[in-house]
Structure 1
Amino acid sequence: FRGWVDEVIQYVYTLLSSIPDVLLIAAAVLLLQVTIDKHPELFATALERSDARLLFLCLILGITAFTGLCRLIRGEAMKLRELEYIQAARAFGVSSFGIITKHIVPNLMHIVLISLVMQFSGFVLAEAVLSYVGVGVDPKTPSFGVMINTARAELAATPVVWWTLVTAFVFMLMLVLSANLFSDAVRDAFDPRARQRQ
């Protein structure tokens, strides 16, 4: 607990949180695109290139979401380390690794689960916006942003094709709404105060 590892982690998430998320994501995806264009031998097929963009987008979304979660987990871990049963385990000679794996991590997992479920809808919306403006997934990869961008182009057709745009919005709304309802259910299941009120 604490020490140089804690300071390095604090420095990393403070540095990452000082950069705007959208700017960091767009810069990272554009950097990958330049790398793919300059070194085509690394990604032989179009499928490999689109998979690399999708994987990199997922990684950079995870890194940007990591900053808030890391700050939350660190604060909770600092609170847990001062509790009496942790102090008792330390007094009985349990190693720091044993305390972390048996007491700290299990008591932090509900925070991680709730946070990830609640951030899912933000990930969906971020992917849609980034793909719509062209810095998200490959244009050949099916995604909400690509579908909305394609439907926007179809709105200019002579017989107006509106149902593709409405369909993309409806399905994205259903996915985000169901993710939010699921996150509320997970939060209520892990929140002891909510169970006491019922």
Structure 2
Amino acid sequence: FNGISWAHPLGLEPGLGHDLLARLLFGARTSFFVALIVTVSSVSIGVIMGILMGYFRGAVDSTLGRFIDFLLAFPAFFMIVALSLPMVQRLEATGLVEGNSARMTYLVIILIFFGWPYLARIMRSQVLSIRERDYILAARALGASQRRIIFKEIVPNLWTVVIVYLSLSLPGYLTAEAVFSFLGLGVQPPDATWGLLISDSIKYVISNPTYFLIPSTALILVVLTFNLLGDAVRDALDPRSEVS
């Protein structure tokens, strides 16, 4: 059973003999770091762009809207795969990052680049609705500045959508990091991520199935937990989403 014992609760990594629990925890650190950075950054950019589009409309809305349409029309998955090698080499050439740091940096940047337009669209529609409400019109009639209207009247009414989107985006980016690491585009040995552990375990799936099942099950359970948490947060913050 893959060397499972009291000393090694999840067993040992075939061939190298590394403790699988230690590798799983170490890999979780990398996977969650990438997912958190991408989630927070893409949500921040999406909120800012959505507010600009929805509040100012006109040329700002038209220009950003066309750019978002352009990004959404791109086959993001194939672009990420195709640009991986040249972009990682370009990052390494700067001398700022190298090896796995360069791969992680590329993955973070490219996932943010293709991730923010979805929330920007949602924020735009929310702001378009909010800016026409009576209390916004009253604040404008009383001479409130655009800055005050945006930060004091509009932004507080967007937190519900932002929190729900955050809770649902994190497992998505966690899965994305695992997929790209599985394909060899992310962190490489001797470092570890959950996707890399799953990739390494494929060749042992018949002879040592627990090595494959443990990281796969861990990823499934974490993603499922965050998805259920996101649904619970959405229901708690927006009772209208519940179906009686």
Name the TM-score class by shorter chain: 0.7 to 0.9
**Greater alpha carbon shift after TM alignment, 7-16 vs 64-73:** 7-16
Displacement of 1:2 in angstroms is 1.4
When normalised by structure 1's length, the TM-score is 0.84
Consecutive unaligned residues in structure 1, runs of 5 or more: none
Larger relative contact order (CA 8 Å, sep ≥ 6):
2
The reply on whether 1:13 has 2:68 as its aligned counterpart is yes
The reply on whether 1:164 has 2:219 as its aligned counterpart is no
1:65-108 Cα offsets, whole Å, 9 max, x none, are: 21111101101111111111111110000011111011111111
Question: What residue identity is the alignment partner of 1:99?
Answer: I
Partner Cα distance (1:42, 1:58) in 2: 15
Consecutive unaligned residues in structure 2, runs of 5 or more: 1-55
Partner Cα distance (2:131, 2:241) in 1: 25
Displacement of 1:122 in angstroms is 1.7
Matched-pair contact (CA < 8 Å) for 2:103–2:185? no
Q: 2:104 aligns with which of 54, 71, 79?
A: 54
Q: 2:170 aligns with which of 97, 103, 120?
A: 120
Displacement of 1:154 in angstroms is 3.2
Matched-pair contact (CA < 8 Å) for 1:57–1:137? no
SS of structure 2 residue aligned to 1:188: helix
Matched-pair contact (CA < 8 Å) for 1:129–1:145? yes
SS of structure 2 residue aligned to 1:93: coil
Q: 1:141 aligns with which of 173, 182, 191?
A: 191
How well do the aligned residues superpose, as a CA RMSD in angstroms? 2.3
What residue is the counterpart of 2:17 in the other structure?
none
Q: 1:101 aligns with which of 151, 155, 162?
A: 151
Query: Would the alpha carbon gap of residues 161 and 135 (structure 1) be closer, same or farther in structure 2, given more than 3 Å must change?
Result: same
Q: Give the aligned length.
A: 189
Partner Cα distance (1:182, 1:55) in 2: 28
Identity over aligned pairs, percent:
34
When normalised by structure 2's length, the TM-score is 0.70
SS of structure 1 residue aligned to 2:153: helix
What residue is the counterpart of 1:154 in the other structure?
204
The reply on whether 1:69 has 2:119 as its aligned counterpart is yes
Partner Cα distance (1:2, 1:120) in 2: 30
Displacement of 1:11 in angstroms is 2.2
Question: What residue identity is the alignment partner of 2:100?
Answer: S
What residue is the counterpart of 1:186 in the other structure?
233
Matched-pair contact (CA < 8 Å) for 2:171–2:226? yes
**Greater alpha carbon shift after TM alignment, 2-11 vs 118-127:** 2-11
What residue is the counterpart of 1:129 in the other structure?
179
Matched-pair contact (CA < 8 Å) for 2:164–2:234? yes
Partner Cα distance (1:7, 1:13) in 2: 10
1:98-147 Cα offsets, whole Å, 9 max, x none, are: 11011111111221221121122221222122111112333443212100
Matched-pair contact (CA < 8 Å) for 1:189–1:195? no
